[in-house]
Amino acid sequence: MTILKIIEYPDPFLTLKAKPVENIDEEILKLIKDMADTMFNAPGVGLAAPQVRSDKRVIVYNPNAGNEKRSEDDDNCDENEIDEDDFEQTDSDIDETDGDILANEESEDNANFAKNSKSVKDNKHNEEYRAIINPEIIAASGSLISENEACLSVPDYSADVKRFSKITVRGLNVDGKKIQFTTEDIQAVIIQHEIDHLEGVLYIDRISMLKRNMYKKKIKKQSQTK
């Protein structure tokens, strides 16, 4: 297990735009595994590559966060969980997890894309995670207030952030297969937050200037007393 160092505001690396992944090679797969370990260790519900000082467009997240009430589909999860040793294999029995793919049953195309959005078991933490490579939000609607949103790179702080309530995301999974799915509420918030990181945007960039300045002052004070 590798726990990566999570960089924190005001590290300027967090403001840089990440670059598309061209090849899903060993290095990217290791980055993803290490990011998952780091996320669960923190603990957190999502992590973007820039937070561990990588400029790759990669996010990992916990697909179960906020889903205390699971749908029937999720009962199939056990069959799809794989050992870390199997992680890099592309077995046909691991591409059917579509537990939290919402609202796309009507679209066969979407269903096929969504099927590839598999969860992977992090067996060190016994938790499922998902990785999306080169994620993009291709549709967004509704709005909600994400209460007390927080970030592993913005310690000791949380704030309410306005987010889309429903998004459609496209990207690649760890096998390089195209995925596309629609998700809502907490899962939609997590994915928006992580994709923001790939654009060099932190959630504190989405709150009022007054609140942001209060946080900046607090950080300044802390760094002066260190």
Q: Shortest Cβ contact with Zn ion: which residue?
A: 151
Nearest C-alpha neighbor of 176 from the set 137, 129, 118, 122: 118
Q: Which is nearer to Zn ion, 21 or 189 (CB)?
A: 189
User: Which residues neighbour 115 within 8 Å (Cβ) at sequence distance 6 or greater?
Assistant: 95, 96, 98
The distance of closest approach from Cβ of residue 78 to Zn ion in the complex, given in angstroms and rounded to an integer, is 30
Structural tokens at position 76:
């199939």
Q: Which is nearer to Zn ion, 83 or 205 (CB)?
A: 205
Helix (H) or strand (E) holding 194: helix 185-198
Select from 18-26, 29-37, 55-63, 149-157 the region that touches Zn ion (CB under 5 A). 149-157
Q: Does 207 bind Zn ion (CB under 5 A)?
A: no
Nearest C-alpha neighbor of 153 from the set 72, 38, 68: 38
User: Which residues neighbour 2 within 8 Å (Cβ) at sequence distance 6 or greater?
Assistant: 30, 33, 34, 37, 38
The distance of closest approach from Cβ of residue 153 to Zn ion in the complex, given in angstroms and rounded to an integer, is 5
Q: What angle do CA 17, 156, 161 make, to 5 degrees?
A: 60
Count of CB atoms situated within 10 Å of the CB of 125: 16
The distance of closest approach from Cβ of residue 120 to Zn ion in the complex, given in angstroms and rounded to an integer, is 21
Q: Which is nearer to Zn ion, 49 or 151 (CB)?
A: 151
The distance of closest approach from Cβ of residue 5 to Zn ion in the complex, given in angstroms and rounded to an integer, is 15
Options 31, 58, 114, 151; binder of Zn ion; rule CB under 5 A = 151
Q: Which positions are catalytic?
A: 194
Q: Which is nearer to Zn ion, 32 or 151 (CB)?
A: 151
Number of residues engaging Zn ion in binding (CB under 5 A): 1
Structural tokens at position 60:
């990992």
Q: Which is nearer to Zn ion, 39 or 151 (CB)?
A: 151
Select from 15-23, 61-69, 75-83, 144-152 the region that touches Zn ion (CB under 5 A). 144-152
Whether the Cβ atoms of residue 188 and residue 164 lie closer than 8 Å to each other: yes
Residues at the interface with Zn ion (CB under 5 A): 151
